[in-house]
Structure 1
């Protein structure tokens, strides 16, 4: 699939943001490469792999045009993973990048809105957007650091879209 055939990332539905002064929109991140880690704080794969990887990517690339975003997308154990618990988790794990809480479904289903809209299969899921906001990677499960770094570097090297 070439870059121009990749779909634009739709707007997410976020109920609450942490580590940002105000709400973030996908459209506001255009012009940057965006790494989104969809996670749940009670997911072992997220805690062992995705959270440390997102934190490392933010430390290494955060000031180089890569926006790292956490998407806390809870589809099970809803009572245990409330925003106050997530706030403690963010503090304990030293997360400095923005983290959004995926909004609950409008019809009472267990899968939250952004997760359903994107057709995510579970957590951890790694999403990478290019500078135009096109979804260039949607990977369920762990992505090794080296291939992820290669993707981020390749997308950073692509031309920045013209504005205006």
Structure 2
């Protein structure tokens, strides 16, 4: 299922990071298209499709243009998904991009970032534009062609300006006006 929005992406609530020395924030990625792959290491669809696809995106696009971030969102089998197991999983599956561990929710079931993004489960792939807005969210599998086209579309949009606005040239999120041609 694909959801298209233009809402500001909530901050990530991450307890620990893997494959990076520094904590990563959406603000630190401003100006970059973000591919957020939410997964659980015991999720078959995540291991067979979601994570390999995210790794392909990571190896295809320039890091200055597209940042791939993994989000380990544990909402079941909590006792089996400890940091040591996740570290081994990331090594075994050769996951090259940064992965954050989503902070447990107040009820201990649904992690905080997963809830803030209204994710229905895993794998969930979320595309965030260079202005920090959620533009597409896919629950389950998405084809490489669709994903590549969506990323290319976000890369083709105007860059963020110094005053944090997007030059629209008369465009709105609903589209751009077409000049009438003289008869």
* TM-score, normalisation: structure 2: 0.84
The answer (yes or no) to whether the contact 1:8–1:135 under 8 Å persists in 2 is yes
- Residues 1:72 and 2:79 aligned together: no
Displacement of 1:108 in angstroms is 2.9
* Separation of aligned partners in 2, 1:98 and 1:62: 15
Between Structure 1 and Structure 2, whose CA radius of gyration is higher? 2
The answer (yes or no) to whether the contact 2:35–2:69 under 8 Å persists in 1 is yes
* Deviation by residue 1:42-95 (Cα, 9 ceiling, x = unmatched): 000101100100111000114351000000000000011111101001111111
Q: Secondary structure at the match of 1:59?
A: helix
The answer (yes or no) to whether the contact 1:62–1:68 under 8 Å persists in 2 is no
- RMSD (Å), alpha carbons: 1.3
Gaps of 5+ in 1: none
The answer (yes or no) to whether the contact 2:32–2:64 under 8 Å persists in 1 is no
Q: 1:117 — aligned with what?
A: 116
Displacement of 1:30 in angstroms is 0.8
More helix by share: 1
Give the length in aligned residue pairs.
160
Runs of 4+ in structure 1 deviating by more than 6 angstroms, as ranges, are: none
Q: 2:170 — aligned with what?
A: none
* Separation of aligned partners in 2, 1:160 and 1:20: 26
* Separation of aligned partners in 2, 1:148 and 1:49: 13
Q: 2:158 — aligned with what?
A: 159
